[in-house]
Amino acid sequence: MQLVPIAKPDFDVEISLAYATADNITGRPVYARADCYLLEPAAAALQRAIRQAARLDLRLRLFDALRPTEAQWKLWNFNPDPQFLADPRRGSPHSRGVAVDLTLIGADGRDLDMGTGFDAFTPLSHHGNLAVSPLAQRNRLLLMGLMTGAGWDFYRNEWWHYQLFDARQYRLWNDADLPRPMM
């Protein structure tokens, strides 16, 4: 299976790769290059989610997609918490090119309130956490409905993370395997 570059005009999404900036849990860039890739079946599922969101006058903002195994190790070494990060020895769905971290954008171009930011590794980030506002709960459920309707599975601890079902069937991708290295 091929990797698909996720970029305009083919994909009507906002790309804001957090790990290509200092605005992430490590406080510094993890990626040297902000390229965004998904494996073909994940790219097709993303297109379905984009179309469904557009029907509601919403768009998607991607914080992460394919994450080379080297990047997974950097994140794990910074914060080895298996509730929020996959142990790189087992492999992350991100490192298989079949996971996305994302949020919804309203018609005004602003992110919808989800109750926490991306990479907030606390119980407040869990799906169904009733400690966040009713508006944030609604927005999380809206995102979940759009994504699961497009063929994605959710991760219960992170409102922003979605992956294909049976993600472990796909191979792991190292930085050297990519069309252009990200690290």
Strand partners, 105: 59, 111
Residue 18's H or E segment, with its range, is none
Active site residue 158: yes
Range of the domain at 45: 3-177
Please report the pLDDT score of residue 107 as a whole number: 95
Please report the pLDDT score of residue 154 as a whole number: 97
Please report the pLDDT score of residue 1 as a whole number: 85
Mean pLDDT by 10 residues, the chain (183 residues): 96 98 95 97 98 98 98 97 94 98 97 96 95 98 98 97 97 97 96
Please report the pLDDT score of residue 139 as a whole number: 98
Strands 99-105 and 158-164, bridge-based pairing: antiparallel
Q: Is 108 exposed, middle or buried (0-12, 13-18, 19+ CB in 10 A)?
A: exposed
| Domains of the chain: total | 1
CATH of the domain at 30: 3.30.1380.10
> Does 32 reside within a domain?
yes
> Does 141 reside within a domain?
yes
> Does 183 reside within a domain?
no
> Does 182 reside within a domain?
no
Active-site entry in 14, 40, 70, 158: 158
Residue of 42, 21, 31 whose CA lies nearest to 153 = 42
Is the separation of the CB atoms in 33 and 181 below 8 Å?
Answer: yes
> What is the layout of strands, in order, in the sheet containing 59-64?
14-15, 59-64, 99-105, 158-164, 152-155
CB atoms within 10 A of CB 64: 25
